[in-house]
A and B are shown apart, each in its own frame.
Chain A
Amino acid sequence: MGKILAARLARLVATLFAVSLLTFLLVEQLPGDPVTALLPPEALHDLETMERIRTELRLDDPALVRYGRWVTDALQGDLGKSYITDQRVADAIRDRIPVTMELALLATVIAAVLAIPIGAFSAYREGGRFDRVMSGFTTASLSIPAFVAAIFFIWLFTLKFNWLPSTGWNRITDKGLLANLKTAILPASALALAPLAINARLIRADMIGTLKEDYILSARAKGLRSRYILMRHALRPSSLTAITIFGLQFGALIGGTVVIETIFALPGLGTRLISGIYQRDVTMIQGITLFVATVYVVVNLLVDLLYLLLDPRIRRQ
């Protein structure tokens, strides 16, 4: 148990090191110079000022030295300051992350909670009407990009019925949960559509396999009810792959809400990252990317640990 944990932690550190180095080098390769992005157009001829700023920001040092400095600071929780707005990157993340985190969490929950019964009952009546309808639904959901679904939702729920706002964000702390959910539900649903389809298919396929197991037949021979067998005996052995996918989806959504945040004009991490890229805000891009990667690998680690809870056989190894 301790051994597994140590090995996973070592892998996590290695992954983060690789991510940080890659991010740094990639941003380094971006065309354009942060100094030129920083200055008003008329100051661009003023080579002296540019040189001064460059020295101030210590952009003259070799790349590896700057990388070392950045990582050392990051390890102490300091992701540096934006070149453009002078805002601390950590503050920007703290300010923006609740929106993105809530969207990702809500989308993951919607995708998981709907996919479990859909997948389970499709598998139970394989080839039946429900299964066929759901197969059509999942195919459609997978082939529609999230932004198209988003636009459709806006058309339906805002323009047609006028039930939900199409833009903006109510913070829970300001306006309460209900108002918050009103602004969150459309973007979260748009985000959830593709993962929902994937989950439903995955759970279905897995359950079809599980339902052929001998222990399902012996559960039937005991006179247990179908729903009980599905939920008690079939779902849990099938849930390992599902749990993995849920975790990966949540991790991916933390960095994958960019387009949806932009469409719904939400003050999330994604929109902040986009503006950082437009402005050549090097520290902001690096900081947010590293943060997103960290969340992703930590979620992965938690998923691995969840395995141990779900399958007693893994616990023993």
Chain B
Amino acid sequence: MADATTHPGDAPLLVVEDLATHFAIDAGLVRAVDGVSFELYPGQTLGIVGESGSGKTVLARTIMRLNLGGNVRTSGSVRFSNQSLLDLPISDMTKIWGREIAMVFQDPMTSLNPVVKIGRQVTEHVRKHFGISKAEARNLAIELLQSVRIPEAEARFDSFPHELSGGMRQRVSIAIALACNPKLLFADEPTTALDVTVQHQILNLLGMQQQERDMAMVLVTHDLGVVAGRTDEIIVMYAGKIVEQATTSEIFHRTSHPYTEALLRSIPKIDQPSHTRLAAIAGRPPDLADSLEGCSFSPRCPYAQERCFEEEPELEALATDHLSACWYPVGTPENQEAWEKNLLAGRPSTLAIANGQIVDDVSVHLPSGTS
């Protein structure tokens, strides 16, 4: 399958092709990641967006080959710097982990070892990968802590994680990830566990470091607001599959997949009056152990027609930089028709959105301070 964006003259850093990660459990086969393909170029930022359970974290971990357990089955291919990661023995992966590909985890409260000093945690892998001395490691650690804007970096070298705030700890995690100057950084929900006020600082820090180091980054998040303006390209995942893939501005300005649209609708907007009801997505993500017929979003989709329940749409190019998997893409006359049909038929997930809009309209006219 063709990549959605074109990059003349540059070799891709990461090529993922038809990647699938299935977990064999008692209830059946869980298709956590099911046929995902994309390319990532050096220095580029990719956003992977989806709800909990959409498979985005498993996708990131499959690419990195991290901790998936014994009941996992992986197929497809992952090429990173011309190495086939899925075929490498784990002993070779330990040479890539931390050095070429690094990861920032979601929760800085649990991803740092509580009984190991910050300084050691920031540099132990640098010492392992590059064999630098203790004194060099100390200098490097202080330099790194300064570069992620940790005040009194020198004093922090001997601190333990519990002595730092959540935001500071995430800065430490970022320093750890950056320590070996990796070519690719996975940031798995790096701001989800943090205060809103800190989220922006951390995202800005990540962006700044990425530019300075000319590093490619995969930003995994459930929040389209997080990736807005920070990524070159966005992949929207649902039930283990890519449902929409496009450049960031395309995703926001020419949203095609109903699921992407629903995600966008659920972001609170600053220009909405307070107490506006958030547009939640009706229903819940499908149980991945059940084999589904048709489009996996169809049960929750406001536009779903008969065809959606029977036939699964392929990921197809709408434009050169835009792939989408939908029979009735948003913004097309067919989509408008489907919407009206569902509204007339009284389809609950359609009515929910229609009603939500009515509630919003009413709340605009309420005098402020009530409700």
Q: How far is the CB of B57 from chain A (nearest CB, A)?
A: 11
What residues of chain B lie closer than 8 Å to A51, measured between beta carbons? none
Closest to A239 in B: B115
Closest to A233 in B: B113
Given contacts A221-B103, A224-B94, A224-B124, contact A237 B115 (CB under 8 A): yes
A213 proximal to B (CB < 8 A): yes
CA distance A224 to B115 in the complex (A): 17
The answer to whether B105 and A312 touch across the interface, beta carbons within 8 angstroms, is no
What residues of chain B lie closer than 8 Å to A311, measured between beta carbons? 114-115
Given contacts A220-B67, A223-B125, A312-B160, contact A215 B96 (CB under 8 A): no
CA distance A312 to B96 in the complex (A): 32
What residues of chain B lie closer than 8 Å to A310, measured between beta carbons? 115
The answer to whether A225 and B115 touch across the interface, beta carbons within 8 angstroms, is no
Residue-wise, chain B 46-84 has the 8 Å CB interface mask toward A (1 for contact) of: 000000000000000000101100000000000000000
Q: Considering the complex, which residues of chain A in the window 209-247 have a beta carbon less than 8 Å from any beta carbon of chain B?
A: 213-215, 217-225, 228, 232-233, 236-237
Q: Considering the complex, which residues of chain A in the window 67-87 have a beta carbon less than 8 Å from any beta carbon of chain B?
A: none
Given contacts A217-B67, A312-B162, contact A223 B113 (CB under 8 A): no
Residue-wise, chain A 295-317 has the 8 Å CB interface mask toward B (1 for contact) of: 00000000000000011110010
Q: How far is the CB of A122 from chain B (nearest CB, A)?
A: 16
Instruction: Give the number of residues in A that approach B within 8 Å (Cβ atoms).
Output: 22
B176 proximal to A (CB < 8 A): yes
What residues of chain A lie closer than 8 Å to B206, measured between beta carbons? none
The answer to whether A214 and B103 touch across the interface, beta carbons within 8 angstroms, is no
CA distance A222 to B94 in the complex (A): 8
Closest to A232 in B: B116
Q: How far is the CB of B177 from chain A (nearest CB, A)?
A: 8
Q: Which residue in A218, A228, A237, A316 is a CB contact (below 8 Å) of B105?
A: A218
CA distance A219 to B80 in the complex (A): 21
Residue-wise, chain B 155-177 has the 8 Å CB interface mask toward A (1 for contact) of: 00000101100000000010010
Number of cross-chain contacts by CB at 8 Å:
77
B102 proximal to A (CB < 8 A): yes
What residues of chain A lie closer than 8 Å to B162, measured between beta carbons? 312-313, 316
Residue of B96, B102, B124, B163 with highest tally of chain A CB at under 10 A: B124
What residues of chain B lie closer than 8 Å to A217, measured between beta carbons? 66-67, 105, 111
Q: Which residue in A221, A223, A313, A316 is a CB contact (below 8 Å) of B128?
A: A223
The answer to whether B112 and A218 touch across the interface, beta carbons within 8 angstroms, is yes
What residues of chain B lie closer than 8 Å to A225, measured between beta carbons? 94, 128
Residue-wise, chain A 59-71 has the 8 Å CB interface mask toward B (1 for contact) of: 0000000000000
The answer to whether A214 and B107 touch across the interface, beta carbons within 8 angstroms, is yes
A-B contact pairs, 15 of them (CB 8 A): A215-B112, A215-B113, A215-B114, A221-B64, A221-B102, A222-B102, A222-B124, A224-B125, A225-B94, A232-B116, A233-B113, A310-B115, A311-B115, A313-B114, A316-B163
